[in-house]
Amino acid sequence: MPGHRNVLVLIIGVLLVSLALVATDVGASAQQAQAVSHERDIVDLRVGQRVLVDDGTCPAGKIKLVTGAQLNQNGVVRSITCVPRFAKK
C-alpha cells in the first residue's frame, strides 16, 4: 500500500499550503489602513498604525496616509504622505 501513503502525504501537503494561504490573507486584511474623513478623527494612533484620511488635501487620485512613525516623550510622531488612492493589484 505504498501508493496510498503517497496520496495521503500529497493531500496533507495541499491542505497545509491552503491553510497557510488563508492565514496570510486574513493577516494582510487585518493590517489594512483604516479610513476617516478628517485627520482630527484619529484619536489614539499607535506606532506602525496606518490611517487613510480623505480630506481633499492631496492631489487628484491620491489620499493622505497618516502613519504612527515613532514614539517620543509627547506621544506618537505622525508621518503624513500622499499615496495613490487605489493600490495596484
How many Å apart are CA 82 and CA 54, to the nearest integer?
A: 10
Kindly state whether residues 40 and 22 are assigned to the same domain: no
Kindly state whether residues 24 and 50 are assigned to the same domain: no
Kindly state whether residues 22 and 56 are assigned to the same domain: no
Kindly state whether residues 25 and 41 are assigned to the same domain: no
DSSP letter at 32 equals S
- Model confidence pLDDT, tens digit, residues 23-64: 444 334 335 678 999 999 999 999 999 999 999 999 999 999
Predicted confidence at residue 21, as pLDDT, reads 53
- Model confidence pLDDT, tens digit, residues 76-87: 999 999 999 885
Q: State whether residue 26 is helix, strand or coil.
A: helix
Task: Write out the three cell numbers for 75.
Answer: 506621544
Give residue 14's pLDDT band: very low, low, confident or very high (50, 70, 90): low
Domain count of the chain? Answer: 2
Kindly state whether residues 52 and 82 are assigned to the same domain: yes
User: The domain containing residue 75 runs over which residues?
Assistant: 33-89
How many Å apart are CA 75 and CA 49, to the nearest integer?
A: 14
Q: Which whole-number Å values give the CA distances from 13 to 23, 26, 61, 71, in the listed order? A: 15, 20, 43, 43
Predicted confidence at residue 20, as pLDDT, reads 58
Helix ranges, 1-89 (H): 2-30
